[in-house]
Structure 1
């Protein structure tokens, strides 16, 4: 009877774990639904993980990396709360709730992954399937809009010469992605970078994988966001460079590296044309000219010219930029800006130096590992390119990316640990998720 009870309890635990991870996958999928379904889903996932952590005292949660991340993460939320309370009149309440919810989702995700380290390989495979689905569905949505607008030649004809023209791609409607064109595009770019990171970890690219990457590139190209295009280019260029560098054929490796070096000037010229980049963008005397990058320069210049308006100790309030650009710096005639379009600058303004340091420490802890330098760079550099030009920093896309990056970075080490324990039946774990 006792054996039956124990077996039943284990099966229940496995089903509960599967359901919780399934909920995490649904949370990630929900980020591509224009309606904000993610709010109740994130809340439910956080609550579920909290209950699991309370009911199961787990030794994995005392590992130094997870302790450090939880300590910094909770301190980050508390400090943001202090800044919010001290500057309530200059804070956006919805943004504060967003910060707490999305940051808690990151911490809950890491706690769940650490509690199930013996199942990470299966969760890793499930994440890859989800990313593939997101890329395919995104490509279908983008292709539908391109067909309806007959926009096949837009990236090459020069028709998309400014931000207003780029936003035409969303006019037929977006049912899978995001209502805001730039956010929609960077969602796709971040998913492509995660997918590339998974391929690099497993070192098992196939024609199917390259087709999926191609669909992602198609989606990023035709959503006309230069931030998304730059993010994807950084990830893909580094991925190809790593593949060439890891080639076992020395002669082929040197030949390919030489070819890449010779092609760099042509690639940079093509990239500058794609991103509509030239040095005249830095001439601010002509105004913003409805250009997103030029508009960002105005935002950053405004910050440098008005340093006395900011409290760098306690911060000025969560998303203070909404107040600042409407009241203090109204001379910037660039519509739609309620933040500085740089995650690190936003944190410095919103929650001061302490908030910025705590935010940076989240990145340091997640990406600071003694091994897997190539994988860390492959996941980190595109993300830095993205958040340096877009996002407030604690957005659901960014926190979900960091959670997925934690999972991806844990897999090689855990797989090695598992191989070392294969001959020890006492250390074998219950069946992995998805089997």
Structure 2
């Protein structure tokens, strides 16, 4: 395994000095605020991301100067991210039809690209042990508030859905906008965010203490269940199963497979609602219908793409039924539908080279497989290419992977 390379510097900057009382510096504070901003109902996160990016740049410039920053920009993943962002911008300006939500996603595209580039560069130049502790505290706070939000939703519903819902449409009625104060008011997007940050929450003690904490896994699955979204449950099952596999001996793995096989029918029927998976009022049924339309009418899509965030006309025309979504609920399909060959290739190469960039930072390939699996699973069934959840997860995974080396043979299990 390639050892983690410590390229931090002893130089300090104004923003890199520790703030009295809270024990972290300004850059670390902004990093944690960026996570909290994702859950605030007011759309303040673009401003927080841009402010954070500026602070990160101030800190890195004081340590490395412009020459090193210029060399960093030559990283292949940043080059392909730049190509994707620029091509999406050209598509936006040539196909924009006046809808406000399209402008919002265009701005989100640039904000997220800037944040990912500056945050990873900043993280690569420092010792992140103290930041990891601050991240852990921030995630504790986030999930406590998520639990409070979900409890209020269920209380307002007289706990009628506390054991689950028979359909996706029924589950969505839980999210009453009158009681919304934290997270997202969309069931699937909120569930996906819980899954991604929840998996990071499980991985943090693995990196900090070489411990797998069972109560964290239970807490994250509880939140996933209360959200009534199948997305986090499916993603977490895959991530936790692979993590358990990595920590197990040969005989334990046999038991893990047997136990998983025995409970799979229960999970599929009770939590994943497999009986209704193709129904027109079921979220997965809608996805399957959209994907079917994509492949059946693939030849009608322009090789240059149908336009930035412009998937709705295609779905209206070709899908057997359409529920108003602006994209295909699949990141890579959406990239091709909207931005064509250039968009799909540049996004795919950005993702591929980012993984290679992470591999150079350290850790075993097994760690990175475990870390990226939940994200890839959710990207296949939910996100467009512009969502900030993807960018934040990539940043957090890089932070975890670069901070400490993990030996899976010496991980302790703690309840």
* Unmatched tracts of structure 1, length 5 or more: 1-8, 245-252, 283-287, 417-435
* C-alpha displacement of 1:52: 4.3
- Please give the TM-score of this superposition, normalised by the length of structure 2: 0.83
1:358 to 340, 346, 350: 346
Equivalent residue for 1:324? 314
Distance verdict in 2 for CA 1:55–1:204, change over 3 Å = closer
Task: Report the equivalent of 2:371.
Answer: 379
Equivalent in 290, 311, 318 of residue 281 of structure 2: 290
Kindly indicate whether the alpha-carbon contact (under 8 Å) linking 1:196 and 1:239 is maintained by their aligned counterparts in 2. Answer: no
C-alpha deviation, 1:317, in angstroms: 1.4
Change over 3 Å in CA distance of 1:307–1:182 after alignment to 2: same
Asked whether the 8 Å contact 2:38–2:45 carries over to 1, the reply is yes
Confirm or deny that 1:107 pairs with 2:103: no
Counterpart contact for 1:196–1:235, Cα < 8 Å: no
Equivalent of 2:52 in 30, 45, 57? 45
Q: Which residue pairs with 1:431 in the alignment?
A: none
* RMSD over equivalenced CA pairs, Å: 2.8
Q: After the TM superposition, which residues 29-40 of structure 1 pair with which residues of structure 2 at under 5 Å, given as runs?
A: 29-40=36-47
TM-score (norm 1): 0.80
Match of 1:80 in 2: 88
Q: Which residue of 2 is the match for residue 240 of structure 1? A: 244
Within 2, Cα distance between the matches of 1:205 and 1:153? 34
How far does residue 400 in structure 1 lie from its aligned partner after superposition? 0.8
Matched residues in 1 for 2:171 and 2:161: separation?
A: 13
What is residue 197 of structure 2 aligned with on the other side? 191
Is 1:98 the counterpart of 2:108? The answer is yes
Aligned pair 1:393/2:393, yes or no?
Answer: no
- In structure 2, the CA distance between the partners of 1:265 and 1:201, relative to structure 1 (3 Å rule), is same
Aligned length: 383
Give the deviation of 1:381 after TM superposition.
0.6
Give the conservation status (yes or no) of the 8 Å contact 2:27–2:52: yes
- Structure 1 stretches of 4+ with a deviation exceeding 4 A read 51-56, 58-66
Larger Rg: 1
| Larger helix percent | 1
Partner of 2:410: none
Report the CA distance between 1:391 and its aligned residue: 1.4
- Residues 290 and 268 from structure 1, CA distance in 2 versus in 1: closer, same or farther, beyond 3 angstroms? same
Q: Contact 2:88–2:308 (CA<8 Å) still a contact in 1?
A: yes
Mark the CA change 1:302 to 1:153 in structure 2 (over 3 Å): closer, same or farther: closer
* SS at 2:324 equivalent: coil
Q: Where do 5+ consecutive residues of structure 2 fail to align?
A: 1-10, 19-23, 408-415
Question: What is the rounded CA distance, in whole Å, between the counterparts of 2:277 and 2:156 in structure 1?
Answer: 32
Deviations along 1:375-431, whole A, 9 cap, x unmatched?
211111111111110011221111111111111111136x99xxxxxxxxxxxxxxx
